[in-house]
Amino acid sequence: MPHDHGRKLAKFYYASEKTIQKAIQASADAQRRWDKTPLEERIRIWQNAADLMAGAHRQRLNAATMLGQSKSVVQAEIDSAAELIDFFRFNVFFLKENAKYQPISENLSVTRNSLRFRGLDGFVAAISPFNFTAIGGNLAYTPALMGNGVLWKPSDTALLSNWRIFNIMREAGLPPGIVNFVPADGPTFGKTITASSRLAGINFTGSVPTFNWLWNEVGKNLNKYQNYPRLIGECGGKNYHFIHPSADIQSVVTGTIRSAFEYCGQKCSACSRMYVPRSLSEPIKQGLLEERSKLKIGDPTDFKIFTGAVIDDKAFARITGYIKNAKNNPKNKILGGGEFDGSKGYFVQPTIIETVDPFDKLMTEEIFGPVLTMYVYEDRDLDQALGLVGSSTKFALTGAVFATDQKFLESAFEELKMTAGNFYLNDKSTGSVVGQQPFGGGRMSGTNDKAGGPNYVMRWTTPQSIKETFVPLKDIDYPYMRD
Ligand SMILES: NC(=O)c1ccc[n+]([C@@H]2O[C@H](COP(=O)([O-])OP(=O)(O)OC[C@H]3O[C@@H](n4cnc5c(N)ncnc54)[C@H](O)[C@@H]3O)[C@@H](O)[C@H]2O)c1
Ligand SMILES: N[C@@H](CCC=O)C(=O)O
């Protein structure tokens, strides 16, 4: 079934510039009341929503994710309801923990010092990607939890599940106007929010070019704003699996197949480049090809599939462009897959390519599809190969090292320090869990604000320090100045 119906349908719901401006006003009006709502009351709404998603709404939200975003039942289960429940519960926990800190008051009969968390002075624009339902919910509702008015622009190809979240939050008790659901053409939305003097923050997850575009627009409008807008961007990756000659081959094969091909490689964390020592290259290739040939690709309503079609025609064109390019380049060899068919659904077979050029675009650009490229290095060139990981791309999202040699793991841990915001030792590069592996990357992969970690909630508050004095202010002179 074609999965770009979401994108085509979304255009019917596109908000005009005027509607987006009205939503900005609505969120500003609602926020003034919302920011005064006691924290306990806000927290109660988030807890209600988590309970609703754990109960009656769980299957509906998962099903919407399967149908709208072409996720297999397993991938929908680990994303949608389950992950959003975790985001909500952990964010509430982190908020409570952070709120426990109050500054020192030396003598309470003289002065009392305190700190309060205010929403930002303006509105927050949450702009979400298609590939994770829970990410959309987290982007929009974490700023709201912290007292902000939010405009949520969902992805055209995740409308159904995102709309469900919006309604669950209303059912849980969130008053109208706090989060405004605004499907819109990307650039129209981007231009309108960045032109508003009330823009206080952008909570973005998506590709590097879109985030760069937004950052530039904010820069151009800087003199208009009443605040410096906070910019959070979690962007793309060129995630790696680096294999040492001491690695456990079975773990490499299993971890790589899952990381590269689950959800058609459309996870920001998916492994798309692999460095393999010559001494292990044959068994690893054999293992990968054998497992690849067993993967069942098809309609997500069939619970036996491993993965479905890619998200839409644009993705299909981009991904198959890389495959066609690889077929025409003598430096690259397709080891498995390489077929695609867009006649009924946008199906791309999981593809494994070997390259002799570690700087080929297959090894350096984000493809965001089921394409894994392998570079085989000579065992004696281990250090050089390790150096390629950080020097060949500007991304630094996720990465994994497979080795049983403890000394090597320790040196790779230091050598690869800045090459990944989420780093795995003997595990695949995907599958971070809220509260266990806070998620985000550095370099061009984003601002690394770590969704699912303790500091994330704090990005959406502008704290105020308060000093109250209970004794009259009498002396201008300091004691040492007196006779
Ligand atoms: N680092 C992370 O945590 C993370 C998580 C998920 C996805 N991603 C990345 O997201 C990308 C895939 O998602 P996508 O295809 O939805 O990304 P995208 O950049 O195409 O779109 C993201 C959102 O931005 C909107 N948009 C597009 N142009 C815009 C503009 N000019 N102004 C305002 N909004 C605009 C889109 O409509 C969508 O809602 C990949 O690069 C992936 O790596 C990163
Ligand atoms: N939490 C997911 C990343 C989401 C990106 O698209 C993972 O770690 O695989």
pLDDT per position as a tens digit, 234-276: 999 999 999 999 999 999 999 999 999 999 999 999 999 999 9
Say how far apart CA 24 and CA 198 lie, in whole Å: 8
Q: What is the pLDDT of residues 124-161, one digit of tens each?
A: 999 999 999 999 999 999 999 999 999 999 999 999 99
Cβ contact 402:241 at 8 Å = yes
Q: What angle, rounded to 10 degrees, do the helices at 406-415 and 382-391 form?
A: 30
pLDDT of residue 2 exceeding 80, the answer is no
Q: pLDDT tier at 6 (50, 70, 90 boundaries)? A: low
Six token digits for residue 231: 């910019």
What is the 420 CA–ligand 1 centroid distance (Å)? 19
Tell me, using a 6 A CB cutoff, whether residue 421 lines ligand 1.
Answer: no
Six token digits for residue 284: 């690893």
- Is-catalytic flag, 268? yes
What is the 311 CA–ligand 2 centroid distance (Å)? 16
* Interstrand relation of 395-396 and 332-336 (parallel, antiparallel or unpaired): unpaired
Say how far apart CA 158 and CA 80 lie, in whole Å: 11
- Is-catalytic flag, 234? yes
Q: pLDDT tier at 35 (50, 70, 90 boundaries)? A: confident
Residue nearest to atom 5 of ligand 2 (CA): 268
Q: What is the pLDDT of residues 100-129, one digit of tens each?
A: 999 999 999 999 999 999 999 999 999 999
pLDDT of residue 3 exceeding 90, the answer is no
Q: pLDDT tier at 1 (50, 70, 90 boundaries)? A: very low
- pLDDT for the residue numbered 5: 58
What is the 188 CA–ligand 1 centroid distance (Å)? 15
**Which residue in this structure is represented by tokens 């509702």?**
141
Tell me, using a 6 A CB cutoff, whether residue 213 lines ligand 1.
Answer: yes
Cβ contact 243:374 at 8 Å = no
- pLDDT for the residue numbered 295: 98
Q: Where are the domains of the chain?
A: 17-235+446-468, 239-425
Q: Enter the ipTM.
A: 0.98
Six token digits for residue 306: 């491993």
What is the 274 CA–ligand 2 centroid distance (Å)? 18
Q: How many CB atoms lie within 10 A of CB 367?
A: 24
- Return the CATH architecture of domain 17-235+446-468: 3-Layer(aba) Sandwich (3.40)
- pLDDT for the residue numbered 249: 98
φ and ψ of 181, to 5 deg: -85, 115
Class level of CATH domain 239-425: alpha beta
Q: What is the pLDDT of residues 200-243, one digit of tens each?
A: 999 999 999 999 999 999 999 999 999 999 999 999 999 999 99
Which of 160, 189, 205 lies closest to 6, judged by CA?
160
Say how far apart CA 463 and CA 458 lie, in whole Å: 9
Say how far apart CA 27 and CA 175 lie, in whole Å: 11
Give the DSSP per-residue string, 343-397. SSS-EE--EEEEES-TTSHHHHS---SSEEEEEEE-GGGHHHHHHHHHHS-SEES
Which protein residues are within 6 Å of ligand 2, measured from CB? 131-132, 267-269, 430-432, 439
Question: What does the chain come to in residues?
Answer: 483
- CA 265, 419, 217: angle at the middle one, nearest 5? 75
- Number of Cα atoms under 13 Å in the Cβ half of residue 98: 21
- Whole-angstrom CA distances from 144 to 6, 123, 137, 299 are 26, 10, 11, 36
Q: pLDDT tier at 9 (50, 70, 90 boundaries)? A: low
- Give the distance from CA 258 to its chain's centroid: 19
**Which residue in this structure is represented by tokens 């197949």?**
257
Say how far apart CA 75 and CA 316 lie, in whole Å: 20
Cβ contact 338:349 at 8 Å = yes
Query: Which is it for the CA torsion 405, 410, 411, 413, positive or negative?
Result: positive
Q: What is the mean pLDDT of the chain?
A: 96
User: Residue 149: beta bridge partners?
Assistant: 123
Cβ contact 400:427 at 8 Å = yes
Q: Which amino acid is at 383?
A: D
Q: pLDDT tier at 56 (50, 70, 90 boundaries)? A: confident
- Say which ligand is closest to the CA of 6: 1
Six token digits for residue 108: 């309470």
Rg (CA), the chain: 25
- Say which ligand is closest to the CA of 139: 1
- Say which ligand is closest to the CA of 424: 2
Q: Which amino acid is at 300?
A: P
Q: pLDDT tier at 312 (50, 70, 90 boundaries)? A: very high
Q: Which amino acid is at 125?
A: A
Q: Which atom of ligand 2 is nearest to the CA of 83?
A: 1
What is the 432 CA–ligand 2 centroid distance (Å)? 6
Q: Which amino acid is at 241?
A: H
Six token digits for residue 358: 């570690």
Q: Which atom of ligand 1 is nearest to the CA of 445?
A: 1
Cβ contact 114:142 at 8 Å = no
- pLDDT for the residue numbered 257: 98
Say how far apart CA 408 and CA 251 lie, in whole Å: 17
Instruction: Tell me the percentage of the chain whose pLDDT exceeds 70.
Output: 98
